[in-house]
């Protein structure tokens, strides 16, 4: 657990995480696919001094079911490419981290590595990667090269069963992250000379073939992009069960977990610790930050948040449920919850606004000041990269010779 201020991130997805959020009175559904819309959201998150934002993505339209497409036309469908969107946001922001979701089941690891390295250069050290497997068999049809397991309704009711069915995809994703990390190291930090007088642009001895040979990929390297400013951009992964916990323990810098209460937080963190031990990770050298997830409907007027969620439930025709705890209440109550759970061993939280802009601005303009009053949140960003802000070291380049 971090001894410094609480870390806060927000997960941005369309009009918000409630499927009827686009019908909220202050929603702007006509702007969902515009750059200006996302710029407003991310600059608001930066106004609140949040650590980073994540941008959701997928290989198919959203669905009410996590494992198969649906035919609904009364919910938001479609989204912008998360990496390209983050690249647009990079020069329009100054401090906040930008962590796009990237599907790694059907995307070549070389492309993953180059895209995120480019984002880190464009943002001057604020990029991250949220690797995500493709749990829907229908997504494979967009590529025509392979098939993936078709989950059943019974599978999705049990996170451990899902993880077991998808274990090969997690194994493949582990290799994707490892390849990306090796490619980020394939240029040493000082490989570029750029000396016009001598005509030497780079030192060829400081570019390295990674020569990765695995069960799923054979990647020669080096990357086409110089080493990112962070050395290794932040890798954050969402995990609900033992296999994803191991995936996070092997290759992530941040694991995002979904407890329901303080006791659940302690139990999940114990499972994460066990996964760290199983894979042999040395957390002194490679710390793993632990963030919990909550869906947030935030109003300081008593009862307003629950009434607002119920109205959206009525519009959608179903009670909204989530893999994460759904919080409905005021900023003081939420601050109490966050600080209580944090004492169980968390470093921070990724909050999912139920509806934007309402719940995003409630986080930045009500929750953040409340946490500051309790000396639990920063008053300024300070300097350094996203890794620095999270207390993560600048990684040593695995290919560089010791001085």
Within 13 Å of residue 372, how many CA atoms lie on the same side as its CB? 13
383 is in an annotated binding site: no
Residue spans of alpha helices (H) in 143-212 = 159-165, 167-185
Decide: helix, strand or coil at residue 7: strand
Q: In Å, what is the CA distance from 266 to each residue of 258, 274, 280, 387?
A: 11, 12, 21, 25
Residue 169: name the closest of 211, 142, 137 by CA: 137
396 — phi, psi (to 5°)?
-70, 140
Q: Which residues lie closer than 8 Å to 392 by C-beta, 6 or more apart?
A: 234, 253, 287, 289
Q: How far apart are CA 164 and CA 142, in angstroms?
A: 24
101 is in an annotated binding site: yes
Within 13 Å of residue 343, how many CA atoms lie on the same side as its CB? 8
Residue 349: name the closest of 365, 332, 330, 368 by CA: 368
Q: How far apart are CA 75 and CA 68, in angstroms?
A: 15
Residue stretches of the annotated binding site = 57, 101
Summarize the annotated binding site for FMN as residue ranges: 57, 101
């Amino acid at each position: 657990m971090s001894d410094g201020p609480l870390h806060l991130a927000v997960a941005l997805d369309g009009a918000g995480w409630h499927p009827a959020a686009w019908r909220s009175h202050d929603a702007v559904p006509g702007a969902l696919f515009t750059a200006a819309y996302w710029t407003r959201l991310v600059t608001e998150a930066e106004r609140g001094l949040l650590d980073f934002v994540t941008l959701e993505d997928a290989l198919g339209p959203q669905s009410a079911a996590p494992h198969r497409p649906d035919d609904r036309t009364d919910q938001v469908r479609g989204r912008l490419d998360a990496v390209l969107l983050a690249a647009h946001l990079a020069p329009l922001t100054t401090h906040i981290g930008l962590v796009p979701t990237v599907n790694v089941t059907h995307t070549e690891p070389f492309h993953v590595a180059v895209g995120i390295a480019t984002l880190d250069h464009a943002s001057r050290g604020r990029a991250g990667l949220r690797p995500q497997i493709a749990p829907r068999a229908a997504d494979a049809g967009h590529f025509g090269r392979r098939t993936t397991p078709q989950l059943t309704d019974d599978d999705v009711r049990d996170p451990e069963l899902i993880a077991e069915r998808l274990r090969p995809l997690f194994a493949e994703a582990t290799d994707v992250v490892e390849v990306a990390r090796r490619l980020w190291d394939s240029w040493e930090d000082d490989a570029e000379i750029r000396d016009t007088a001598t005509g030497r642009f780079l030192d060829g001895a400081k570019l390295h073939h990674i020569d990765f040979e695995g069960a799923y990929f054979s990647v020669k390297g080096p990357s086409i992009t110089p080493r990112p400013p962070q050395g290794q951009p932040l890798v954050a992964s969402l995990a609900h069960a033992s296999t994803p916990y191991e995936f996070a323990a092997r290759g992530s810098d941040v694991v995002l977990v979904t407890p329901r209460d303080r006791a659940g937080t302690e139990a999940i963190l114990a499972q994460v610790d066990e996964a760290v031990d199983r894979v042999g990770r040395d957390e002194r050298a490679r710390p793993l930050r632990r963030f919990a997830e909550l869906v947030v409907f935030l109003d300081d007027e008593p009862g307003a948040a629950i009434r607002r969620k119920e109205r959206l439930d009525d519009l959608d025709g179903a009670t909204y449920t989530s893999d994460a705890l759904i919080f409905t209440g005021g900023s003081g109550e939420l601050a109490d919850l966050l600080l209580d759970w944090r004492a169980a061993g968390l470093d921070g939280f990724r909050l999912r606004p139920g509806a934007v802009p309402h719940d995003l601005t409630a986080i930045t303009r009500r929750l953040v000041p409340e946490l500051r009053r309790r000396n639990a949140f920063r008053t300024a960003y300070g300097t350094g990269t996203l890794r620095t802000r999270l207390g993560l070291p600048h990684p040593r380049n695995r290919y560089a010779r010791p001085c």
